[in-house]
């Protein structure tokens, strides 16, 4: 896929090398231990540390700041492959790139250098926006950061924070102009900060029990009169909402790529099983009801992959990608949910049993329709852009 303005559906040699590296890592390091971490709910430290050695936790951080410096398209190639192995483990790895995005978008050169290199040295970060009463409605957050001299006093709580328990620092969205909350100018009242995990007043709750993605920790983060130096403000005060929207434009293609990876795994498992399972004297794929179902799965996976590639290409070519990212995120998430459900159906009764992989895939995939903007929010975005 060319990113210089021309279109090509073949991967360059460099892209193939990156894809192969991620594919080998997924198959050799992630897939063999996926069941273990799904059952134990442990954080996959051994796998994460190996991913750090390859730079996979700093994919989107430029080389100048200690990262791997991948393009959006390259990041999507990697994300699809890692999610094929286990989307819980791939989320534990990839969420660090999400946490770094506000720093890369709004941070100063000094901030990018410091936190990029800290990530390169093995630290982890988490993205703190969602709150108990503010999910899809980002402007509904209640966390505040009130400035007094050269310090902001941060109060509030964030929930469903991926990577919260093991993060060394957080990128946190808060109202710096609390009086604007609930007004038509509320979008101008928020700002982003980098908050250290070990500061007084920062506490993290117990990990939530989840339907799927058990290898990825999710918890509440509480800020109780945390004293944040003004030097930890990212970019300009009042630009936080704008930065958050830019984060989504960059994060949604990669998340959509992860959904494609899970769907591809479900398709691969369904094909393998349909070759081995016999019914009425022939492999079940030769029964048209099953064969056509798997054919439709393949069509949908490929269509979603192309939407993801276009959304990534838009970022890399400098084009506005809000609509393309929403197309990719909505379709890939919904497609993958259906493909995983159909894979369970191909397996029949065995698909419902945890000893077969498709049961886990169906549990893991549901979150893709919810996080990074629900499928319904993506349609709101598309509607808004169509009628702008």
pLDDT at 1: 61
The secondary element (H helix, E strand) that includes residue 183 is none
Supply 4's token pair: 């210089």
Distance CA 235, CA 291 (A): 54
Task: Tell me what pLDDT residue 371 has.
Answer: 95
Asked whether the beta carbons of 196 and 169 are under 8 A apart, the reply is yes
Three-class secondary structure assignment of 12-55: CHHHHHHHHHHHHHHHHHHHHHHHHHHHHCCCCHHHHHHHHHCC
Q: Are 145 and 176 contacting, i.e. CB atoms less than 8 angstroms apart? A: yes
Each as own residue / partner, the long-range contacts of residues 288-297 (CB below 8 Å, 24 or more positions apart, any chain) are: 290/346, 293/342, 293/345, 293/346, 294/267, 294/270, 294/342, 294/346, 296/342, 297/263, 297/266, 297/267, 297/270, 297/339, 297/342, 297/343
Mean pLDDT by 10 residues, the chain (388 residues): 67 96 98 98 98 97 96 98 98 97 98 97 98 94 97 98 98 97 94 98 97 98 98 97 96 98 98 97 97 98 98 95 97 98 98 97 98 96 96
pTM (2 d.p.): 0.96
In sequence order, what are the beta bridge partners of 158? Answer: 221
By CB atoms closer than 10 A (0-12, 13-18, 19+), residue 286 is: middle
List Cβ neighbours of 32 (8 Å cut-off, separation of 6 or more).
Answer: none
Q: How far apart, in Å, are the Cα atoms of 182 and each of 135, 139, 174, 373?
A: 15, 8, 14, 21
Which residue has 């279109």 as its token pair?
Answer: 7
Of 103, 27, 95, 89, which is closest to residue 59 (Cα–Cα)?
95
Name the architecture of domain 13-120. Orthogonal Bundle (1.10)
Q: Which of 128, 72, 76 is nearest to 304 (CA)?
A: 76
Residue 6: per-residue pLDDT: 65
pLDDT for 361: 98
Q: In the prediction, which pLDDT does 9 show?
A: 84
Q: Under 8 Å CB-to-CB from 367, ≥6 apart: which residues?
A: 210, 211, 212, 213
Task: Check residue 8 and give its pLDDT.
Answer: 78
Residue 87: what pLDDT?
A: 98
User: What CATH number labels 125-240?
Assistant: 2.40.110.10
- Pair 96, 163: CB distance under 8 Å: yes
Q: How far apart are CA 331 and CA 310, in angstroms?
A: 13
Superfamily of domain 242-386: Butyryl-CoA Dehydrogenase, subunit A, domain 3 (1.20.140.10)
Cα 82 to chain center, whole Å? 12
Q: Are strands 125-128 and 169-175 parallel, antiparallel or unpaired?
A: parallel
Active site residues: 372
Where are the domains positioned within the chain? 13-120, 125-240, 242-386
């Amino acid at each position: 896929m060319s990113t210089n303005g021309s279109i090509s559906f073949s991967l360059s040699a460099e892209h193939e090398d990156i894809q192969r590296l991620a594919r080998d890592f997924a198959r050799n390091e992630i897939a063999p231990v996926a069941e273990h971490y799904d059952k134990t709910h442990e954080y996959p430290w051994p796998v994460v540390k190996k991913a750090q050695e390859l730079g996979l936790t700093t994919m989107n951080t430029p080389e100048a700041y200690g990262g791997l410096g991948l393009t959006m398209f390259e990041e999507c190639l990697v994300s699809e492959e890692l999610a094929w192995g286990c989307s819980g483990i791939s989320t534990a790895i990839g969420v660090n790139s999400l946490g770094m995005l506000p720093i890369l978008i709004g941070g100063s050169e000094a901030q990018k250098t410091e936190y990029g290199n800290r990530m390169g040295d093995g630290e982890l970060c988490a993205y703190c926006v969602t709150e108990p009463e503010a999910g899809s409605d980002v402007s509904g957050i209640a966390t505040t950061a009130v400035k007094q001299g050269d310090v902001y006093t941060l109060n509030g709580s964030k929930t469903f924070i991926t990577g919260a328990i093991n993060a060394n620092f957080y990128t946190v969205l808060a109202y710096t102009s609390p009086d604007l909350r609930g007004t038509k100018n509320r979008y101008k009242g928020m700002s982003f900060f980098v908050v250290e995990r070990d500061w007084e007043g920062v506490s993290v709750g117990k990990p939530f029990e989840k339907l799927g993605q058990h290898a990825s920790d999710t918890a509440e983060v509480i800020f109780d009169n945390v004293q944040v130096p003004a030097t930890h403000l990212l970019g300009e005060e009042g630009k936080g909402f704008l930065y958050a929207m830019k984060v989504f434009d960059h994060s949604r293609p990669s998340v959509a790529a992860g959904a494609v990876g899970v769907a591809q795994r479900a398709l691969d498992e369904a094909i393998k099983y349909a070759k081995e399972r016999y019914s009425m004297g022939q492999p079940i794929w030769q029964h048209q009801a099953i064969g056509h179902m798997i054919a439709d799965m393949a069509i949908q996976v490929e269509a979603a992959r192309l939407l993801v590639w276009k959304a990534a290409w838009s970022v890399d070519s400098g084009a506005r990608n809000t609509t393309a990212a929403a197309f990719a995120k909505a379709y890939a998430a919904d497609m993958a949910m259906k493909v995983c459900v159909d894979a369970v159906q191909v397996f029949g009764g065995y698909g419902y049993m945890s000893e077969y992989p498709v049961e886990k895939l169906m549990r893991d995939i549901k979150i893709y329709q919810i996080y990074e903007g629900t499928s319904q929010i993506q349609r709101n975005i598309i509607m808004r852009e169509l009628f702008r």
